[in-house]
A and B are shown apart, each in its own frame.
Chain A
Amino acid sequence: MFLRLLIESFRRQRRRKILAGIAILLGTTAVTAMLALATTIGDRIQDELAVYGANIVVTPAAEQLDVQVGGIDVRPDSGGATLKESDLKKLRGIFWANNITGVSPQLPVHILGTTSEGETLDVAATGLWFRHSLSNGGPAIVTGAPALHPLWKLTGEWPKETSPTANSADAVIGSALATSKGIHTGDTIQLTPSPQNPGALHSLHVTGIVATGDTVDNQILLPLSTAQSIAGTPDAVKRVEVSARTKPEDSFARKDPDSLSAKQKEIWYCRPYANSIAYQIREAIPGARAEQIRRVEQSQGTVLSRISGLMWLISAAAMLAAAFAVSAAMATAILERQVEIGLMRSLGASKTSIALLFYTESGLLAFITGAIGYIIGSGVAAWVGIKIFGASATPALTDILNPVLLPVIVSLSLLIAIAGSTPAIRRALSMEPSSILRTGA
C-alpha cells in the first residue's frame, strides 16, 4: 500500500514533482560542478602557476649563500659545495614523491670558445636536464628544465645528452647571446682548452636558440653531463629546482616541525605543504638544503582560497535556492493532498507515518535528481575546466565522474529535499483532520 501511495503520488502530481525535481537538479548540478572544480582546481592552478617556475629549491647545505648576480651564479665552477646528481633519484622515494612533478638540476660553468663566425666567446653556461627520466626503481617521471619553464620559447631542438667522453656536445644558445654573437642553429662553437676542460670536449653543436625573457638569454644551456665534464666535477649539481603539487600554505604549514609534538609533527609531515615536502627532501638527500620559494606558494594559496571561497558561496546559494524552490513546490503539492492527509489521520495514521510517506516521496525525488545532477554537474565541471584551463584532449569518463562526489551530492540533495519539505509537512500535520475533512473536499 505504501508503495502504491508513493507511485500514485508521483504519477498524479507529476508537474509538482517535476518542478521540485528541477529545483533539486539545478542545485545539485551547480554544487557538483563547484565541488568537482574545487577538488581539481588546486592541481590545475598548480599547472598554471608552474609557468612561474619551481616552488622548492634545493642547494647544498654547506653553501651558505646562493650567490647569484642577475641570475648568474658567480661562484667558481669547481668551487663550493655541490650535491650529487645520483642522489636526485631519492626524490622519487620520499613520502610525497608522487606530488613531485618536475626536477631540474643546474650546474653553472664558464665557456671559453670561438663561434663559427670567429667571434670569441667568454660566457656563462648552465648544465641542465632537458628530457631526463628520473626513477628510483619505481615509476619514472620524465623531467628537465623545459618542463619547469614552459614559457621558454625554443627555436630548434633541445640538446641531447651525450657521453661525457664525446668530442662534441649539443647546446642551446640564449637569444640575446645568439643575436650579439651571430650564432645560428646548426653552428658549431669551438671550445678553447682550459684547465677545467682538459681536452675531451672540443666543440658544441648549436641545436636551437632559446628566448627566456631573463638572464638565461645571455647564456649557453648544455646537457648536465656536458657541464659536469667541462667543470671536471662528475655527478655534481649546484642547485636543483623542484616543482611539486602542494597544499596552499596556512599557519600550520609555517610551524617548525621540530617544535611540534610527535603526533602534530606526523600530521604536518603527512600534509603536502611545500614546507613538509622540502623537509622530506632534506631528509632524503644528504647535505641538501631545501626551501620553498615563498612567492609562488603564496600566490597559489591566495588564488586558491579566493576561488574556493567563491565556489562555496555559489554552492551555498544554489542549495538555498533549491531548498526554497522545493519548499514552494512541496507546499503546493501537500496543500493539494490535505484531504488525503485528513482522511489518513481519521483512519488512525500517526503523524509519523504520514510524514514518512511525504519524506520518502521527497527523498526518492532527491535521490533520483541528485544522481542526475551529479552526472550533469560533473559534465559541466569538465566543460568549464576545458574552457578555463584548456585541455589537450577530451577527458575520459573516469576523469569526469569523481565517485567520491556521488554520495556527497546525493546526501546534499536529500538534505535539500528534507529541509525544503519539512515546513510544508509540518504545516499539513498541524492542521486538524476534522476541519480538513469538513472543508477540504
Chain B
Amino acid sequence: MIMMVKENLAMINPNDLTRPDCAVISLKEVTRDYSGHAGKVCALNAASFSIVAGEWVAITGPSGSGKSTLVNMIGCLDRPTQGALMIDGVDVASMSATDLDRFRADKIGFIFQQFHLIPYLSALENVMLAQYFHSMTDEKEARAALERVGLGNRADHLPSELSGGEQQRVCVARALINNPPILLADEPTGNLDEANQKIVAGLLKDLHAQGHTIVMVTHDPEMASLAQRRIALSHGKVFCHPVGGAIVPIR
C-alpha cells in the first residue's frame, strides 16, 4: 500500500494535479462567495487542484487567505457557490444536506487544533460518539482505536485528566474510528508543546504510511515540511507547492 502511494506520487506531474481521474479530492473552478453587510466577499476564488489517495497535503496561508473556507469545503461542512467539488468520485456540491451529513460521516475524519473532546465523556466515549453518529457503537473497536494511538490504558479517563498530546491522540482515534478515506487535520499541533507536537507528528506520519490521505491546515513550517505537497492560499487564490519544487500557480 505504502509503495503504491509513493509510486502514484512519483508519477504525478505538478501540472497534472488538476486531473480528477486519480484524485480522491478534486476541485474544479471552485468559488465560495459570502454575502455580508459590506457586500459580497469572495473567500475562495476559482480554486482548482486535486489530491490523490494516500497523499499528505499541507494547506498554508495567512489569516483570511481562505484556508477555513477550503477546509470547510473539503470537510463537506460547506458547499461551493460555483464549480465542482468531487470527493471520492462524488460531486458533493449537488448533494442534499442530509446526504452530505451521511457522506461526511463516511468519508472525513476531523482532527481539530482545540481537540473538541466532549468534556463529560471519557476518552473511550468520545471515540464511540463518532461511531454513534456514523452507525452504531462498538466498544471493542473504540478501545482498539485508542490502543492504536497508544492510549489503551487511558480509555476511561476524562479529557480533563489527559495531557494536550493525549487529548489530540484521542481526537485522532475518533477521526479514524469509522475508517474514513480522508483525514482533515486543522492545525493538529497548534495547541501542543514541542514534545507532544512530535508525538502527534509521528502519529500522522504513521497514518500516512498506512495509506491515509491527509489534508492538514498548518501555520507551522516544520509540520508543513512533513507533507508531500503544500497548497498555499492567498486572497482566496490557490497556489500549488510540490515538495522540493518552486511555487507553481495552477492558473
**What CA separation (Å) do A435 and B71 show in the bound complex?**
11
- B121 CB-CB contact with A under 8 Å: yes
**What CA separation (Å) do A342 and B78 show in the bound complex?**
13
Q: Which of A1-33 contact B (CB under 8 A)?
A: 1-2, 4, 8, 11-12
Contact status A343-B118, CB under 8 Å: yes
Contact status A350-B101, CB under 8 Å: yes
Contact status A347-B110, CB under 8 Å: yes
What does the 1/0 interface line of A345-375 toward B look like (CB < 8 Å)? 1111111110000000000000000000000
Give the number of chain B interface residues (Cβ < 8 Å): 31
Q: Is the interface of B mostly helix, strand, loop or mixed?
A: helix
Distance in Å: Cβ of A68 to nearest Cβ of chain B = 80
Distance in Å: Cβ of B61 to nearest Cβ of chain A = 15
Contact status A8-B104, CB under 8 Å: no
Contact status B112-A437, CB under 8 Å: yes
Contact status A348-B134, CB under 8 Å: yes
Contact status B118-A346, CB under 8 Å: no
**What CA separation (Å) do A346 and B125 show in the bound complex?**
16
| CB-based nearest A residue for B115 | A441
Distance in Å: Cβ of B66 to nearest Cβ of chain A = 13
Contact status A438-B104, CB under 8 Å: no
Contacts A1-B137, A2-B132, A441-B114 hold; do A345 and B105 have CB atoms under 8 A apart? no
With beta carbons under 8 angstroms apart, the residue of B98, B101, B116 that contacts A437 is: B116
- A105 CB-CB contact with B under 8 Å: no
- B238 CB-CB contact with A under 8 Å: no
What does the 1/0 interface line of A334-346 toward B look like (CB < 8 Å)? 0000011011111
**What CA separation (Å) do A353 and B101 show in the bound complex?**
11
Give the number of chain A interface residues (Cβ < 8 Å): 27
> Chain A residues near B116 (CB, 8 Å)?
339, 342-343, 346, 437, 441
- B6 CB-CB contact with A under 8 Å: no
Contact status B97-A1, CB under 8 Å: no
With beta carbons under 8 angstroms apart, the residue of B77, B101, B106, B110 that contacts A349 is: B101
Distance in Å: Cβ of A234 to nearest Cβ of chain B = 87
Contact status A345-B118, CB under 8 Å: no
- B151 CB-CB contact with A under 8 Å: no
Contacts A8-B120, A434-B71, A437-B116 hold; do A1 and B125 have CB atoms under 8 A apart? yes
Contacts A432-B77, A432-B78, A437-B112 hold; do A8 and B134 have CB atoms under 8 A apart? no
- B170 CB-CB contact with A under 8 Å: no
Contact status A348-B102, CB under 8 Å: yes
- A108 CB-CB contact with B under 8 Å: no
Contact status A346-B110, CB under 8 Å: yes
> Chain A residues near B110 (CB, 8 Å)?
346-347
**What CA separation (Å) do A4 and B112 show in the bound complex?**
23
**What CA separation (Å) do A349 and B104 show in the bound complex?**
9
| CB-based nearest B residue for A342 | B116
> Chain A residues near B30 (CB, 8 Å)?
none
**What CA separation (Å) do A346 and B110 show in the bound complex?**
7
Distance in Å: Cβ of A336 to nearest Cβ of chain B = 11
- A433 CB-CB contact with B under 8 Å: yes
Contact status B129-A345, CB under 8 Å: no
8 smallest beta-carbon distances between A and B, as pairs: A348-B105, A441-B114, A1-B132, A349-B133, A434-B72, A350-B101, A347-B133, A434-B77
| Other contacts beyond A348-B101, A351-B101, A434-B71: 6, CB < 8 A | A346-B75, A346-B104, A347-B174, A350-B98, A432-B78, A441-B114
